Amino acid sequence: MKIRNVETFPLLYRLPMPYGDANGMKRFRVCYLIRIEADSGAYGWGECVDSLETLHKDFHTKLIPYLIGQSVANRRQLIRSIKKQHPRAASAVSMALAEITASHAGLHVCDLWGGRFRDKVPVYASYQSYSENADWQKQSTQAVERAAAEGFQLFKVKIGGKSIHEDQEHISSIRNTLSSGMQLILDANQSYDTAAALGWRSFLENMPEVLWLEEPLQIKFTAEYGLLRQRMPVPLAGGENIEAAADFLPLFLQRALDYITPDPLHVTGIDEYLATLNMGRAFGIRVTPHTYDGALTRLYALYAQASLEPFSKMEPDAIEPVEWDAMDNPFTKLISIQPVNGEVVLPSGTGIGAEIDKEMLSFYQWDGSSYE
Ligand code: MG
């Protein structure tokens, strides 16, 4: 079975109301999808993230001419080669080829990976808490309240972009709205040094509802994470920008984190992503995906969580949650699955068991103009 055709779909949405985190304000959201078709008629979708200009140029000048005529079954060899040309593009190609292989065999992608342990996976509502409005704290708190009313149980909010005092005021205001059993994730986007991160210690001391503190430090400071982990009263998480399974090893070996947060778009290729999850299990460190960009990537992350062994014999049904972008972003709706009471019931069927909304592909098509 050989690759017959590759189509590309660069999508852009300019945000009417920018939002952001400690890294600054976002003024647009982008999405880059590909659809690979084999000569058997089977097809698969893939997704990647990078500048639309760079992706589009590389796909059309190098990657598509290389892929046409190649064997779908040689997925890992092809990914190895594409990785050298454009690592981010390799993620999209790996997803599309995995879907074609599964569809051709009449299987679901989870079956290719050895089958599911569960059909439901929890998700957390993920926010970019900052805006350019003076009342950002109030807006953020109200957004969490609305998601709680819709059934979400877990919420990620941002810290690290304002003074610690302002951020703690914000977290206290959200905490007051939570019902029993709801939990919070605080994400600092690598804003602090160890001394500043320890400024959160007393605040977090009696907050059992904090599920984890994410990336208080630059992720390269492995030893400092190890020290911080011994001194902080809440679990630590990180690693969303790490690009290879092996690059998580220092974090595992130094017992620097309680959770790793690999992103299927940053760890190059879906096979490498699965290897990362299994390494987490081998080292007894929990794995919770970062999936802020893209509905297809999130679907793959949900399937990977569904196919992952439980982390505990005591809680065989428990599984770490998947990130669910709760901000203004139409691309989260490219696939129609929605959480109910904070959980997603996973589609069955062959391939990925879901279709991409094609009307959205034409509505949001990037026209090639500059947007950054
Ligand atoms: Mg993060």
pLDDT at 317: 79
Catalytic residue from among 83, 108, 266, 290:
290
Q: 206: burial class by Cβ within 10 Å (0-12, 13-18, 19+)?
A: exposed
pLDDT at 312: 85
Task: Give φ, ψ of 26 to 5 degrees.
Answer: -95, 135
Q: Is 290 a catalytic residue?
A: yes
CA-nearest of 133, 94, 128, 98 to 266 is 94
CA-nearest of 126, 127, 125, 131 to 17 is 131
Give the C-alpha separation, 87 to 334, whole Å. 24
Calculate helix-pair angle for 164-175, 136-150, nearest 10 degrees.
30
CA-nearest of 237, 365, 344 to 300 is 344
Q: Is 313 a catalytic residue?
A: no
Catalytic residue from among 86, 108, 158, 170:
158
Q: What angle do CA 262, 279, 192 make, to 5 degrees?
A: 40
Residues 190-236 have pLDDT tens digits of 999 999 999 999 999 989 999 999 999 999 999 999 999 999 999 99
Give the C-alpha separation, 108 to 98, whole Å. 10
Give the C-alpha separation, 8 to 46, whole Å. 9
H helix intervals, the chain:
52-58, 64-67, 75-85, 87-105, 109-112, 136-150, 164-175, 194-198, 201-204, 222-231, 249-253, 270-283, 295-306, 358-363
- The two tokens of residue 188 are 């600092």
Residues in Cβ contact with 163 at an 8 Å cutoff, skipping those fewer than 6 apart: none
- Rounded distance from Cα 262 to ligand 1 centre (Å): 10
pTM for the full model?
A: 0.97
3 state DSSP class of 230: helix
CA-nearest of 292, 298, 243 to 90 is 243
Only one residue has tokens 């309680």, namely: 258
Residues 328-354 have pLDDT tens digits of 999 999 999 999 999 999 999 999 999
- The two tokens of residue 15 are 């945000």
- Rounded distance from Cα 290 to ligand 1 centre (Å): 7
Q: Is 316 a residue whose pLDDT tops 80?
A: no
- Residue 314 — pLDDT band, cuts 50, 70, 90? confident
Q: Is 273 a residue whose pLDDT tops 80?
A: yes
- Rounded distance from Cα 237 to ligand 1 centre (Å): 9
- Rounded distance from Cα 2 to ligand 1 centre (Å): 38
- Rounded distance from Cα 187 to ligand 1 centre (Å): 5
- The two tokens of residue 50 are 């990078």
- The two tokens of residue 275 are 């290897």
- The two tokens of residue 174 are 């959200």
- Rounded distance from Cα 171 to ligand 1 centre (Å): 16
- Rounded distance from Cα 166 to ligand 1 centre (Å): 19
Give the C-alpha separation, 49 to 186, whole Å. 24
- Rounded distance from Cα 157 to ligand 1 centre (Å): 10
Instruction: Tell me the one-letter amino acid at 214.
Output: E
pLDDT at 89: 97
Helix (H) or strand (E) holding 99: helix 87-105
Number of C-beta neighbours around residue 164 at 10 A:
16
pLDDT at 188: 98
Residues 5-28 have pLDDT tens digits of 999 999 999 999 999 999 999 999
- Rounded distance from Cα 241 to ligand 1 centre (Å): 9
CA-nearest of 290, 304, 248 to 109 is 304
Give the C-alpha separation, 164 to 167, whole Å. 5
- Rounded distance from Cα 5 to ligand 1 centre (Å): 36
Do the Cβ atoms of 243 and 267 come closer than 8 Å?
A: yes
Q: How far is the CA of 101 from the CAs of 75, 95, 97, in angstroms?
A: 9, 10, 6
- The two tokens of residue 250 are 């220092």
% of the chain at pLDDT higher than 70: 100
- Rounded distance from Cα 214 to ligand 1 centre (Å): 6
3 state DSSP class of 11: strand
Mean of pLDDT values over 236-258: 97
Do the Cβ atoms of 174 and 155 come closer than 8 Å?
A: yes
- Rounded distance from Cα 323 to ligand 1 centre (Å): 10
